[in-house]
């Protein structure tokens, strides 16, 4: 009897077991049919577009999600399927028509491609095209030709694809009702991928342009990608031995990548860059907008902040939501979002965003689900590690408060009365590394990395506050005002705002060799190329030894320095190879030869009303 019962139980168990869940391309193939089209633009150019349509016709009509990219919509061929469709797994399960497009001049699409193709506000004939018109024409074709669609379109894209979302919102097609530019490339020169305050972002761009190359010949799918062989794991050594940027072009790019040359030869905020500042055209936007970014995005942190702020001031859409979380570049779209580098946040912030924020946003505007109540800012407060909602960004309660660089490496809320200075010798042939360990290029999570190694260098000035008696929350841009002098005629000044952990801070993970007691977490850090202190359009040399001032704003932060922590500020004159080296000589830096790189003595003046300081936007009282 026991044997019979056991056999019956086993049979029931086998019958009740669910089938193995399909994953990857097989899961997409099960629910979607793939089509490929060449969409005609108004000037006759055709853009290659893959469209995935749900097989279940009873649940439609379906809205359309559109992603436009310069990075290829592979795999090509109607029998070859992507591993997933839509911004996240929620869209794939729910059922959306999803379209992917090679933008003009890339891979299978016709036409000529331009780096951050300029927007044309005035168009006099069908030949006057830009990314706004290409988006309009693509949407028009899709809603008229893809069966079983509900006439509503949403767009999303991260990084470069985010730029195409921003461009597509301008003079938008009526069917485009919801747009989400995510880490959008917004102004390559003013704080995005290429330049930060006039300093070239060497580590990231060198690697990117080794693989992002010009298409030569007719439209074609991507060929095999051959990774660049650095022949060493040590990026600091590689780039130092490389020498100046001219050597990079001659030795490693073989003068064969026009995009690298465009980036390195346009060293001021000139007409080339101004024409590509898409944010200046984000006025009177009609679709609902959800702009997304990461507080620790090493590539496009400034883009979402600048885009959202400009739209808020220029006839914004009824829904204009800024979402900022504790993520690296695109980190919200993958993984659980529990940590960046050594710093943990105590929550699965990526999963929360994908379900509660992103999916809810598109579900409401494309399918009419949910109450549609979205805040102006849905942002994650690091340090205390909580999601917050605000009706303005920065929050209306955030008030400016200056913290001053004082004697003996002290940081205080009042300036010392007497004027004085601290100094150090900056040697561009022995630049300050941006990390305390060996790596190549740009480490994705450097923006939370430990700065204790830099505190130990003689060419870095470190200032620290007293231990905080209560939590201190900052929300908004971090403004820097440094009184400086240099014995050179040009110099960089790198400023870092740091959260100093107490010595008894508990370890997140005992397996992590990095001890968190005394950890110095980078909260914000930015370089400033001194010759641009008066204008990014017209650089001016320093007068050697003469006191001058550098003032700029670092990107917004939303961070709580907890009770028992300290606030630290570091000042240095190189950040290598994150940024290129300044020869400390007024010149076109991409043309610098080895003998041009010279030592300089830098002074940072403190004390009195004209001393050096950072201004933080502080939210008063307990949260």
User: What confidence tens digit (pLDDT) does each residue in 452-482 have?
Assistant: 999 999 999 999 999 999 999 999 999 999 9
Distance between CA atoms of 342 and 258, rounded to whole angstroms? Answer: 38
Q: Is 99 helix (H, G, I), strand (E, B) or coil?
A: strand
Distance between CA atoms of 52 and 424, rounded to whole angstroms? Answer: 60
pLDDT in tens, 293-347: 999 999 999 999 999 999 999 999 999 999 999 999 999 999 999 999 999 999 9
Distance between CA atoms of 167 and 87, rounded to whole angstroms? Answer: 19
Domain range 399-619, its CATH number among 3.30.70.260, 2.60.120.260, 3.40.47.10, 1.10.10.10: 2.60.120.260
Instruction: For residue 272, say if its preceding peptide bond is cis, omega within 30 degrees of 0.
Output: no
Q: What is the 3-state secondary structure (H, E, C) of 411-463?
A: EECCCCCCCEEEEEEECCCCCCECCCCCCCCCCCCHHHCECHHHHCCCCCEEE
Extract the tokens encoding 446.
């450097």
Cα Rg of the chain (Å, integer): 26
Per-residue pLDDT, 255: 78
Name the DSSP letter for residue 274.
H
Q: How far apart are the first and last CA of the chain?
A: 65
Q: Is 316 helix (H, G, I), strand (E, B) or coil?
A: coil
Which residue in the block uniquely carries the two structure tokens 């019979």? 4
Instruction: Kindly give the interhelix angle for 131-145 and 160-169, rounded to the nearest 10 degrees.
Output: 80
The low-confidence residues of the chain, meaning pLDDT below 50, are 1-15, 17
Name the DSSP letter for residue 206.
H
Closest by Cα among 117, 103, 283, 285 to 188:
117
CB 393 within 8 A of CB 375: no
Distance between CA atoms of 601 and 276, rounded to whole angstroms? Answer: 37
**Helices marked H in 227-378 — which ranges?**
235-242, 245-247, 258-265, 271-274, 302-313, 349-352, 360-367
Domain edges within the chain: 25-120+128-187+276-390, 399-619
* 25-120+128-187+276-390 CATH: 3.40.50.1820
Task: Please tell me the pTM assigned to this model.
Answer: 0.94
Residue 410, C-beta contacts closer than 8 angstroms, at least 6 positions apart: 463, 464, 465
CB 47 within 8 A of CB 110: yes
46 phi/psi in degrees, rounded to 5: -110, 135
């Amino acid at each position: 009897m026991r044997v019979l019962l056991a056999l019956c139980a086993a049979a029931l168990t086998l019958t009740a077991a669910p089938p193995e869940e399909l994953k990857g391309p097989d899961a997409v193939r099960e629910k979607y049919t793939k089509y490929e089209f060449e969409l005609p633009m108004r000037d006759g150019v055709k853009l290659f577009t893959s469209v995935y349509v749900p097989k279940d016709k009873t649940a439609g009509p379906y809205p359309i999600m559109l992603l436009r990219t310069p990075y290829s919509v592979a795999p090509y061929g109607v029998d070859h399927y992507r591993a997933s469709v839509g911004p996240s797994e929620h869209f794939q399960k729910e059922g959306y028509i999803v379209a992917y497009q090679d933008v003009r001049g890339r891979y299978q699409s016709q036409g000529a491609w331009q780096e951050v193709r300029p927007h044309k506000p005035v168009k006099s004939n069908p030949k006057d095209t830009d990314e706004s018109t290409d988006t309009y024409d693509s949407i028009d074709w899709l809603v008229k030709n893809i069966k079983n669609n509900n006439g509503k379109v949403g767009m999303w894209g991260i990084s470069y694809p985010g730029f195409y979302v921003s461009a597509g919102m301008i003079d938008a097609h009526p069917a485009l009702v919801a747009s989400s530019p995510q880490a959008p490339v917004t102004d390559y020169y003013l704080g995005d991928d290429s330049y930060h305050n006039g300093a070239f972002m060497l580590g990231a761009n060198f690697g990117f342009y080794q693989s992002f190359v010009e298409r030569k010949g007719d439209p074609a799918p991507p060929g095999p990608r051959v990774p660049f062989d650095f022949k060493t794991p040590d990026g600091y050594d590689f780039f130092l031995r490389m020498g100046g940027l001219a050597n990079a072009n001659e030795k490693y790019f073989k003068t064969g990548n026009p995009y690298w040359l465009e980036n390195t030869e346009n060293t001021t905020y000139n007409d080339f860059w101004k024409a590509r500042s898409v944010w200046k055209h984000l006025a009177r936007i009609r679709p609902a907008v959800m702009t997304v970014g990461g507080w620790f995005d090493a590539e496009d942190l400034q883009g979402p902040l600048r885009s959202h702020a400009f739209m808020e001031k220029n006839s914004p859409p009824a829904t204009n939501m800024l979402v900022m979380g504790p993520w690296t570049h695109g980190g919200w779209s993958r993984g659980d979002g529990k940590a960046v580098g050594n710093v943990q946040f105590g929550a699965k912030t990526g999963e929360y965003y994908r379900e509660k924020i992103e999916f809810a946003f598109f579900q409401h505007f494309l399918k009419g689900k949910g109450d549609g109540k979205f805040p102006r800012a849905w942002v994650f407060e690091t340090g205390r590690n909580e999601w917050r909602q605000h009706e303005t960004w920065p929050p209306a309660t955030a008030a400016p408060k200056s913290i001053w660089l004082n004697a003996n490496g002290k940081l205080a809320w009042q300036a010392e009365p007497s004027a004085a200075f601290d100094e150090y010798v900056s040697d561009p042939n022995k630049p300050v590394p941006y990390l305390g360990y060996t790596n190549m290029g740009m480490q994705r999570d450097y923006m939370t990395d430990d700065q204790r190694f830099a505190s130990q260098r003689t060419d870095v000035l470190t200032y620290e506050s007293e231990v905080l008696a209560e939590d201190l929350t900052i929300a908004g841009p971090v403004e820097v005002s440094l009184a400086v002098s240099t014995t050179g005629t040009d110099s960089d000044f790198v400023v870092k705002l740091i959260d100093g952990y107490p010595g008894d801070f508990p370890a997140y993970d005992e397996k992590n060799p990095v001890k968190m007691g005394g950890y110095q977490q980078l909260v914000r850090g930015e370089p400033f190329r001194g010759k641009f202190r008066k204008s990014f359009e017209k650089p001016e040399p320093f007068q050697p030894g003469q006191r001058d001032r550098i003032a700029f704003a670092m990107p917004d932060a939303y961070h709580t320095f907890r009770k028992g922590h300290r606030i630290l500020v570091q000042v240095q004159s190189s950040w290598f190879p994150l940024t290129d080296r300044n020869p400390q000589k007024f010149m076109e830096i991409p043309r610098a030869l080895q003998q041009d790189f010279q030592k300089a003595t830098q002074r940072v003046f403190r004390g009195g009303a004209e001393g050096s300081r950072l201004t933080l936007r502080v939210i008063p009282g307990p949260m």
